[in-house]
């Protein structure tokens, strides 16, 4: 490798680029920009990146933003999982262990879903799919049930699409906020989701193709679980048996997040639930930690869509 980067000219360029020679702006941003640009220079040097390749990467980034797929490439490159690993590590250092594992939020949350007490139905009857009943309790690490916790749930429909991002779905379809009852319990009826696939002609899949990777996720259900005085939990459960369960392009599957899916086909039980076809049931409890000083923040500020 050449020493071009070490020349006074290149180093001076980096200093001027990052504003480190002036006394205005933000000191932390300057240091980070210097590092990132310097690492890019280094990559260009090390791989002898040619101008054509460089400009193809720049038009890729433009396309990624225009296709609104930044939030999709980020988990695909493991960056969102890396942030989780760092939060896990910081929690361990703060003495926070156990409880329900976190996993990535992903790009498809929509704020402001309808709020109800104790229970909800997430679909409006227009989805064709296997009915799923899910229920459980929100507790603290000492096993104390938490009344008044909010279980904010969202998931894909049986075609793998999310409402709002898939404009063919009803508003807030398969998105609800449920307040736990006096025993800390929540329950909902919905339809089993299918796994998500990256848009096949989008920029994320285009890069994954170059990496020899697919852009599939196992079927999953997302949750934010919050309660006053407790640490916000961002997590997902995976639907057991999915072929991508341990081959998730977004690296979100974790031990402890694959509950048993019980199947019920007995006509008596089916009718007792007001159904006429076999259904599935998942029991899953969420265990939260009390908020405390010197622990990493779990309330992440991130731009979200809000269904108009």
Cα 256 from Cα 211, distance rounded (Å): 29
Nearer to ligand MBD, 279 or 286 (CB): 286
Helices 51-66/203-210 angle, 10° precision: 140
Partner whose footprint covers residue 104, from ligand MBD, Fe ion, none (CB < 5 to 8 Å by kind): ligand MBD
Using CA atoms, how far apart are residues 33 and 18, in angstroms rounded to an integer?
6
Task: Please count the other Cβ atoms lying within 10 Å of the Cβ belonging to residue 307.
Answer: 13
Instruction: Please pick, from the candidates 81, 96, 106, 238, the single residue that binds ligand MBD as defined by CB under 6 A.
Output: 106
Chain positions 222 to 261 lying near ligand MBD, rule: CB under 6 A, are 250, 252
Options 64, 73, 96, 104; binder of ligand MBD; rule CB under 6 A: 104
Closest CA to 203 of 81, 78, 56: 56
Exactly one of 18, 30, 72, 136 binds ligand MBD (CB under 6 A); which one? 72
Token match 């848009």: residue? 199
Please identify, among the stretches 29-37, 55-63, 98-106, 113-121, the one whose residues bind Fe ion according to the rule CB under 5 A.
98-106
CA distance 50 to 55: 9
Which of 76, 106, 203, 218 is the binder for Fe ion (CB under 5 A)? Answer: 106
State the minimum distance, in angstroms, from the CB of residue 275 to ligand MBD.
27
Distance CA 66, CA 27 (A): 30
CB of 108 to Fe ion, least distance (A): 5
Residue 150 or 252 having the CB closest to ligand MBD: 252
Q: Quick one: DSSP state of residue 23?
A: S
Contacts with Fe ion by CB under 5 A lie at 106
């Amino acid at each position: 490798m050449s020493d071009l980067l070490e020349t006074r000219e290149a180093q001076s360029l980096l200093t001027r680029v990052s504003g480190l020679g002036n006394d205005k702006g933000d000191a932390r941003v300057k240091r980070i920009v210097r590092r990132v640009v310097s690492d890019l220079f280094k990559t260009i040097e090390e791989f002898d990146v040619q101008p054509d390749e460089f400009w193809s990467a720049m038009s890729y980034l433009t396309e990624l933003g225009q296709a609104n797929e930044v939030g999709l490439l980020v988990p695909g490159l493991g960056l969102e999982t890396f942030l989780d690993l760092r939060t896990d590590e910081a929690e361990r250092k703060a003495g926070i262990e156990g409880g329900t594992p976190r996993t990535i939020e992903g790009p498809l949350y929509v704020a402001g879903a309808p709020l109800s007490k104790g229970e909800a139905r997430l679909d409006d009857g227009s989805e064709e799919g296997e009915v799923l009943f899910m229920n459980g309790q929100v507790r603290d690490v000492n096993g104390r049930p938490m009344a008044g916790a909010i279980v904010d749930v969202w998931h894909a429909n049986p075609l793998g699409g999310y409402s709002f991002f898939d404009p063919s779905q009803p508003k807030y379809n398969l998105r609800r906020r449920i307040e736990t009852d006096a025993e800390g319990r929540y329950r909902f009826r919905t339809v089993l989701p299918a796994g998500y696939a990256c848009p096949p002609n989008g920029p994320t899949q285009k890069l994954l193709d170059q990496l020899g990777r697919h852009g599939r996720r196992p079927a999953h259900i997302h949750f934010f679980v919050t309660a006053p005085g407790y640490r916000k939990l961002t997590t997902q459960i995976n639907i057991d048996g999915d072929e991508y369960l341990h081959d998730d392009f977004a690296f979100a599957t974790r031990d402890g997040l694959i509950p048993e899916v019980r199947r019920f086909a007995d006509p008596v039980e089916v009718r007792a639930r007001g159904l006429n076809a076999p259904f599935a049931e998942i029991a899953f409890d969420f265990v939260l930690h009390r908020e405390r000083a010197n622990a990493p923040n779990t309330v992440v500020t991130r731009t979200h869509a809000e269904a108009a």
